[in-house]
Amino acid sequence: MIYIQLNEDNFEYDIYSLVKAFYPKEEVKISTEPVPADAGLLFSMQVNYSDDVLTLDGRKIDIDYSNRPDTKNRLKLAIYESLHERTGKDLPWGTLTGIRPTKISLGMIEEGASDSDVTAYMRQTYLTSQEKIDLSLQVSHKEHELLSRIDYDNGYSVYIGIPFCPSTCLYCSFTSYPIGLWTKKLDDYIDALEKEMAFTAESCKDKSLTTIYIGGGTPTSLDAEHLERLLTLVDTYFNTADLLEYTIEAGRPDSITLEKLQVMKNHPVTRISINPQTMNQKTLDLIGRFHKVEDIHRVFGWARDLGFKNINMDLILGLPGETIEDVAYTLSEVEKLAPDNLTVHSLALKHSARLNYDKEAYEDYLIDNSQKHMDICLDAAKRMGMAPYYLYRQKNMAANLENIGYSTPGNEGLYNILIMEEKQTIMALGCGTACKFVTDHGKTVTRCENVKDVQLYMDRIDEMIERKRERLREDLKWL
């Protein structure tokens, strides 16, 4: 265990995230209590905040506490230097531990900064590697181009959450429930969603709807009848004619049928995801995805035959037991299908994921990710005519890397950029979702969350709608 002693509670999350980036397999505890004796510690570190000086293990750093962002950056630079001396390691993203590194580069580009300005700032302020700075710049320039079409002030997007899946995957930490336990209450759930749709459509009637994204869970865990009902309600309450994008996260191939794809095709859906995560059968069996590799090929073929022209596929790097040769095989199979988007995720071990809380059962499995893995994905994306268009990061990511979306020209996922860069208000409907109310082009973002329990969501839907009404009135002045 690594023990971080503070003299007062401050910047705990930032300290924890940075230490975990250097020591991903170690337990890290942060406390104002004295360092425990005989605790079998790997090492301890002391952080002391006083007057205009911050002390880290005896090293004094001049601090202006009235400037909190600068204080945080100075603290993280000092911790980084100390951990670099201990380990000899450099992190590709430097001291950046937040999930949206491109907000920095995109914000500077929007204010007229040159690439050299961005490079110097990210290198000096965060110790970011040149490779990741270049990636940030490439993605940010593409985002800047795509976002020029978006009405920030008079537009909004809608997210609809379907919190059901055929089963729970080994690595999953999203709000999802086995669909088999809720089949008798699907109409009740959609009834609650309809109330939120009616409220949202009325509240935002003077605004233009930019994108719709139906995610989860796995939306296609709904049977064809309930999927049809859901999409018909969307058509009823929202003006879909002027949408720039309408995505359904079809997700797991074992949840997709030809009938469900036809239902989607009968509505103005423009983009779907068919997500294998891996094309190696042994890994699919291990992580709890109950389908065959050939099912992925068959379902993808159905979608193409029905005329879907914008299909995304998700992959995860660092799955248990997978070698770089397994990843290369997955990519070769994906290339045969030639999707329009490819989203590459670095495995992130979340607390609520079975792979984390039952990790002893999987400790003998290799969990490996590296820049080399990311590079072969980039090479495959280039061969398919794709370029990176958005990226984000998560806590406890394998090798401290990133998730990155590639796309062929014109098929970029606008919602993905909007949710990450926080430039436009997103109205979120459904169990476990969170609205983001955005003002001043992202300078102020407030959240309004729905409960994560399905039954509570249905029981308390009127209460949650009223809470949104209040936030729309106070935060956005829309009502």
The predicted-structure confidence for 291-334, as pLDDT tens digits, reads as follows 899 999 999 999 999 999 999 999 999 998 999 999 999 999 99
- H or E element at residue 434: strand 434-439
Sheet with 208-216, side-by-side order of all strands: 387-392, 403-407, 341-346, 311-317, 271-274, 245-251, 208-216, 155-162, 425-429, 434-439, 444-449
- Please give the DSSP secondary-structure letter assigned to residue 450: P
- 3-class secondary structure, 83: helix
pLDDT in tens, 200-218: 999 999 999 999 999 999 9
pLDDT at position 378 is 97
pLDDT at position 173 is 56
pLDDT at position 395 is 77
433: left (phi over 0), alpha (psi -120 to 50) or beta: beta
CA neighbor of 81 nearest in space, from 72, 89, 93, 69: 89
What does the DSSP assignment read for 368-415? Answer: ---HHHHHHHHHHHHHTT-EEEEEE--TTBGGG--EEEEE-TT---HH
Q: Number of helices (H) and strands (E), helices first, in the chain? A: 16, 18
pLDDT at position 354 is 46
Domain ranges across the chain:
1-88, 90-138, 149-467
pLDDT at position 357 is 37
Q: Is the pTM of this model over 0.85?
A: yes
- Alpha helices per DSSP H over 204-254: 224-237
pLDDT at position 349 is 58
Q: CA–CA separation, 381 vs 61, rounded Å?
A: 44
The verdict on whether omega for the bond into residue 217 sits within 30 degrees of 0, i.e. cis, is yes
Identify the segments of the chain with pLDDT beneath 70: 168-175, 349-367, 398
pLDDT at position 251 is 83
CA neighbor of 276 nearest in space, from 287, 284, 288: 284
Q: How far is CA 3 from the centre of its chain?
A: 29
* Rg of the Cα atoms in the chain: 23
In this structure, what token pair is assigned to residue 292?
């065959």
The answer to whether 143 and 105 are in contact (CB under 8 A) is no
Question: Would you tell me the crossing angle of helices 130-147 and 102-110 to the nearest 10 degrees?
Answer: 60
- Alpha helices per DSSP H over 148-203: 186-203
CATH of segment(s) 149-467 = 3.80.30.20
> How many other β-carbons are positioned within 10 Å of the β-carbon of residue 206?
7
pLDDT at position 276 is 94
* Long-range contacts formed by 95-98: CB under 8 A, 24+ apart: 95/18, 95/126, 95/127, 96/126, 96/128, 96/393, 97/14, 97/17, 97/18, 97/21, 97/395, 98/393
- 3-class secondary structure, 323: coil
Task: Count Cα neighbours of 379 within 13 Å in the Cβ-side half-sphere.
Answer: 10
